[in-house]
Amino acid sequence: MEYLRTVKYESELDKKFLKEVVKHSECDKILECIQCGTCSSTCPVSLYMDYTPRKLMAMIKGGFKDDALKSKTVWICSSCYSCTVMCPAQIKITDVMYALKRMAIEKGVYSKGIPTPVLAQEMSNIISRKGRNSEMEVVTRMMLRTNPFGMLKMAPMGMSLFFKGRMEIFGEKIKNLPQMRKLLKGLKEAK
């Protein structure tokens, strides 16, 4: 039997992580977290999370970068903003979740085996290409990357949706694509 070391050495932690998250989320109130757990108890999906939102805040403050970025929690977050509304320290927890999602995708360390980050990525790609989302394309791309055999199971439902006029095979494009690309470019540069 293999024994795993679970003790954290200070040398394994990243003391700059907190600053990074503050920068990405524009929320310096993370520092003021008093670990009350209101976020976790108000969260409707915290029971599916590997770390509760409260724990995640502690990990950010403690410099537990790897664990936080690989966490499933941020992908399970449904952005209902309940935690942000309830937080007594007024931490914008949902914004922090988004910041962690972006950082995880940028560094490519997001939790594998969860479709949500792939979905987010593909959707972002399609929109930057066409200016509008295409359900058919985003679902196909996501399924191919995460669960190709699942497509067979989903096919009948896809057909029904298609015949009812609820899904288009070729998605729409917006009229003035160059203008939107210019906009996106501007945003990227501003960042």
The residues of the shown chain that bind other proteins, judged by CB under 8 A, are 6-11, 15, 18, 28, 31-35, 54-55, 58-59, 61-62, 64
Those residues whose C-beta lies under 8 Å from the C-beta of residue 64, and which sit 6 or more positions away, are 8, 13, 17
CB of 105 to other proteins, least distance (A): 24
As measured in angstroms, the least distance from the Cβ of 80 to other proteins is: 24
Ramachandran angles phi, psi of 110, nearest 5°: -65, 160
Question: How would you class 136 by CB atoms within 10 Å of its CB: exposed for 0-12, middle for 13-18, buried for 19 or more?
Answer: middle
| Residue number with CB closer to other proteins (18 or 69) | 18
Dihedral of the CA atoms 112, 65, 99, 71 (nearest 10)?
30
Q: How far is the CB of 55 from other proteins (least distance, A)?
A: 6
- Nearer to other proteins (CB atom), residue 65 or residue 141: 65
Identity of the residue, 19 or 132, whose beta carbon is nearer to other proteins in the bound complex: 19
Q: Using only C-alpha atoms, what is the Rg of the chain?
A: 20
**Residue 1 C-beta: closest distance to other proteins, Å:** 20
27 vs 142 by CB, closer to other proteins: 27
For tokens 């979905």, name the residue. 119
Rounded Cα gap, residues 47 and 45, in angstroms: 5
Q: Is the CB of 35 or the CB of 78 nearer to other proteins?
A: 35
The Cβ of residue 94 has, within 10 Å, a number of other Cβ atoms equal to: 22
CB of 83 to other proteins, least distance (A): 16
